[in-house]
Amino acid sequence: MSQAPVDSKKKTAETTEDLSKKTDEISSTKNNSVQVAISPDELLSPYPYSPADNLEGYTSHLPWKSRIVGGWIRNALQWKNILKTVAESPQLFGPFSCAAQFQQWLVEQRLTNQIYLHAKRATRAGSTPDTYAEHDENIENAYGDMLYDLCTLCMTQSELKTDTSGSKTDISGTDSVSGAGAVISKTDTATGTVLKTDNNLKESGSSGSFKPVSTFDRKKTQKLSSSPEGIAVLKKYMHDFLQLEWQYNSLGLTRLKAMKELLLSLLVVITEKPIEKRDMPFPLKQKRDKPAPLFSDYLKTSRTRLENLYNHRAFNIKFFSEIATGCKIGYSKYEVVEGSRIHTVTLRHYFLPEGVVSNGKILYMVSPLINKAEIFDLAKGKSVVQGMLEAGYTIYLEAPGDPGVEDTDLGLDFYGKVVHDKYIEIIKKLHPDQEIYVMGYCMGGTIFMPYIARRAQERLSRGETMDIKKVALMATPVKFDDDTSGHGPMRKVITDDYDERLMHEMYGEVNVPPQIISVGMNEIQHGVQYNVAAGFYNRASFPGAIEDAAPFLYWLTHGTRFGSLAHRQWIRNIFMENQIYNQQYCLPSSEPHLDGKPVNMDILKEAGVQIFDYRGERDPISPTGSCVSSEIWGMIKDENLSHTRGGLNRTIEKNIGHIFVVSTVLLSEYLDIVKKFYDGRM
């Protein structure tokens, strides 16, 4: 099943350097005859179909090879387990047990043990156990490299520098650069068109120096699209692009489809001719009371988009996110509280900004068990932590980390009881007389709700008042059924494709890799891979948009492992059996009469706990019908608060689901409401 990695440099007949020299030679060739540029349709005509085009009209990502092989693997493992059962029951099956024992050994040695070994090795290495998905990622890497190489043949490089007065000047003598604006402008000497590129390309070296900025050279593109030699180069590239597309193992709305659309827009820029036999990629929208955009407007925007992507090496979003962030995200400064580390879980204490006075309130933030805790603190202006710090809150954040092989047997009682007991005890010792508020995001809030109910049971049974009385939940599901919760589609995916015993056998020793978690998420977020990539490319024509997206893209493409036991308990106890909502969810307790017993969620009302739910109408991960804590528990009639935001996930990167914090507008709205909730002003 293994496929050889793709090397884009070997796929092209000549290196980029050779082709650049050839393009320069073409540009210097004196030819007085009028040459007609080839059109994008002519370049595409030999290739009427490609898996990257989605001519089938699928509305989601369809990894068809992975699904077929995954089904075979499940069948093989189930057959092995049947053979094992027969082999271990000679009193029932007689001589057939001996035959089953031999077949079991054969299946294990030749098939299932190899599958287990591959899955564990890949997980330990941080890669996907799915060979086809890994090959698709290699294809995307190669495709991005070839897009970069083809752009190189069309670009001219200019050196930009900041002079002593602070204004930006072009030392090549052909650029005009705005003073304090957010855009560096370069004038195309052939057309007089002002081409724009982001100004955030400052080098880490000397102050005031800038990296070289490349822009399209129309002389090069005209020769490339008009001369016989140039057309031959373009046709060779198109052939090699198609070879990569045919090696792709997925159909539908894939990331490669978004990259193919980027290629089509590049062909339009090179040939300066529209595509007539298929839809134009990244079309310009007509503004209200404005004339329809002209083709010249489309060319100008497309040039800017491709130049920005080229100068940032951002054709492949995962590679770009790693380079742009240095594999590190998070804006606010913090320290790990001494003595707080339990396995991979830590308690962070964030520092108040200079000049901000504490308001005397403690905020304990609870993170999900998957993905990085930096979802609370992505970047400046996109940070819940930053917003609450500026309001004077003293912030502690529970960060689960990335569980290792020694953490495979840690269950939800550890993450949802032991950790919170220890961290709240630490906080109360450090701040004995200050009020503690809680903020939970997604599944972090889900497993915190039974915890706070159990805490209320324990304190009230000892005659103590409840010490935490306000909980804000961000897109936190607590109800899981096939009816009103909205989780029916995901539950169907689990019923059809999930095998708990198989997951334990494959990942029980190494934890569940994030790539496997993403497979399920992609099933309910139709077209997420395409939408994120296409949206990023589309916005690349705007100044600053590329850098702005880098922290989120890194967070999105670099998840964390899900502890093996905790994952199985999450799927079985919470998602499929709906134990929290049905009040059948059990937790340990320091009180013997409560230890191991179901949590009484109704105690939250008696304890006076107020709950705030913030949810989105178009959130497939945490549907509004599932985010109902504030409607069923705590101070339901008078003090609780529910806020449903229409289109919560429709701004900027919101196509991926319920990550509204990447929008400064939605984040500001949330911060304003949650602070009023904590202050009792609502």
Residue 394 burial (CB count, 10 A): 22
**Would you state the structure tokens that stand for residue 635, as one six-digit string?**
């101070």
149 touches 19 (CB < 8 A): yes
Residue 31 has a pLDDT of 44
Buried b (16+ CB within 10 A) or exposed e, 288-321: eeeeeeeeeebbbbbbbbbbbbbbbebbbbbbbb
Contacts of 379 (CB under 8 A, 6+ apart): 329, 331, 548, 551, 552
User: Taking residues 471-493, what's their average pLDDT?
Assistant: 92
| 169-183, 373-387, 435-449: segment of lowest average pLDDT | 169-183
Q: Rounded to 5, what percent of the chain is helix, strand, coil? A: 50, 15, 40
Which 3 state secondary structure label does DSSP give 513?
coil
Q: Which amino acid is at 38?
A: I
Residue 194 has a pLDDT of 37
Q: Which residues pair with 603 in a beta bridge?
A: none
Question: What is the percent of the chain with per-residue pLDDT over 90, rounded to a whole number?
Answer: 67
Which backbone phi and psi does 646 adopt, to 5 degrees? -65, 135
Q: Are strands 382-383 and 377-379 parallel, antiparallel or unpaired?
A: antiparallel
As a whole number of angstroms, the distance between CA 66 and CA 123 comes to 17
Q: How confident is the model over 498-555, as pLDDT tens digits?
A: 889 889 999 999 999 999 988 888 878 888 899 999 999 999 999 999 999 999 999 9
As a whole number of angstroms, the distance between CA 439 and CA 365 comes to 5
Q: How confident is the model over 389-398, as pLDDT tens digits?
A: 999 999 999 9
| 340-344, 362-366, 658-662: segment of lowest average pLDDT | 658-662
Residue 211 has a pLDDT of 66
What counts of helices (H) and strands (E) characterise the chain? 26, 18
CA torsion, ordered 206, 208, 212, 218, to nearest 10 deg: -170
Per-chain mean pLDDT for the chain: 85
Residue 405 has a pLDDT of 92
Which backbone phi and psi does 178 adopt, to 5 degrees? -70, 155
279-284, Cβ contacts within 8 angstroms, sequence gap of 24 or more: 282/534, 282/537, 282/538
Contacts of 554 (CB under 8 A, 6+ apart): 321, 322, 324, 325, 327, 329
Q: How confident is the model over 621-668, as pLDDT tens digits?
A: 888 899 999 999 998 766 676 776 643 322 222 333 457 777 888 888
Which backbone phi and psi does 416 adopt, to 5 degrees? -105, 5
As a whole number of angstroms, the distance between CA 465 and CA 460 comes to 6
- Of 80, 97, 105, the closest CA to residue 506 belongs to 80
Residue 159 has a pLDDT of 62
Across 425-544, the runs of DSSP E, i.e. the strands, are 435-441, 468-474
> Looking at the predicted structure, is the pLDDT value of residue 600 above 90?
yes
Q: Which residues pair with 158 in a beta bridge?
A: 213
Buried b (16+ CB within 10 A) or exposed e, 641-668: bbbebeebbeebbbbbbbbbbbbeebbe
What is the pTM (predicted TM-score) of this model?
0.83
- Of 421, 434, 427, 449, the closest CA to residue 611 belongs to 449
| 156-165, 210-219, 254-263, 296-305: segment of lowest average pLDDT | 156-165
Residue 16 burial (CB count, 10 A): 17
Q: How confident is the model over 662-675, as pLDDT tens digits?
A: 788 888 889 999 99
453 touches 417 (CB < 8 A): no
End-to-end CA gap in the chain: 59
**Would you state the structure tokens that stand for residue 201, as one six-digit string?**
């390309």
Under the banding of pLDDT at 50, 70 and 90, the label for residue 210 is low
- Of 548, 538, 651, the closest CA to residue 301 belongs to 538
Residue 563: HSE in the Cβ half-sphere, 13 Å Cα cutoff = 23
Q: How confident is the model over 419-445, as pLDDT tens digits?
A: 999 999 999 999 998 899 999 999 999
- Of 355, 349, 339, the closest CA to residue 377 belongs to 349
Under the banding of pLDDT at 50, 70 and 90, the label for residue 198 is very low
User: Taking residues 571-588, what's their average pLDDT?
Assistant: 96
Q: What is the DSSP letter of 541?
A: T
* Cα distances (Å, whole numbers) of residue 355 to 306, 352, 358, 391, 392: 42, 8, 10, 11, 10
Q: How confident is the model over 224-240, as pLDDT tens digits?
A: 999 999 999 999 999 99
**Would you state the structure tokens that stand for residue 419, as one six-digit string?**
């950790």
As a whole number of angstroms, the distance between CA 287 and CA 285 comes to 6
> Looking at the predicted structure, is the pLDDT value of residue 12 above 60?
no
Q: How confident is the model over 62-121, as pLDDT tens digits?
A: 999 999 998 898 898 889 989 999 999 998 888 899 999 999 999 999 888 999 899 999
Element (H, E) at 323: helix 317-325
What DSSP letter does each residue of 49-105 carry, written as one string?
A: --GGG-TT--SSEE-HHHHHHHHHHHHHHHHHHHHHHHHT-HHHHTTHHHHHHHHHH
Q: Which residues pair with 440 in a beta bridge?
A: 366, 473
* Cα distances (Å, whole numbers) of residue 478 to 417, 446, 571, 572, 618: 17, 6, 13, 14, 17
Higher pLDDT, 265 or 168: 265
As a whole number of angstroms, the distance between CA 165 and CA 167 comes to 6
453 touches 598 (CB < 8 A): no
As a whole number of angstroms, the distance between CA 62 and CA 253 comes to 8
As a whole number of angstroms, the distance between CA 391 and CA 574 comes to 35
Higher pLDDT, 639 or 377: 377
What DSSP letter does each residue of 91-114 carry, written as one string?
A: HHHTTHHHHHHHHHHHHIIIIIHH
Greatest pairwise CA separation for the chain in angstroms: 97
Q: How confident is the model over 255-311, as pLDDT tens digits?
A: 999 999 999 999 999 999 999 999 999 999 888 878 889 999 999 999 999 999 999
> Looking at the predicted structure, is the pLDDT value of residue 32 above 60?
no
576 touches 423 (CB < 8 A): no
Under the banding of pLDDT at 50, 70 and 90, the label for residue 186 is very low
Residue 449 has a pLDDT of 97
Question: What is the percent of the chain with per-residue pLDDT over 70, rounded to a whole number?
Answer: 84
User: Taking residues 608-628, what's their average pLDDT?
Assistant: 89
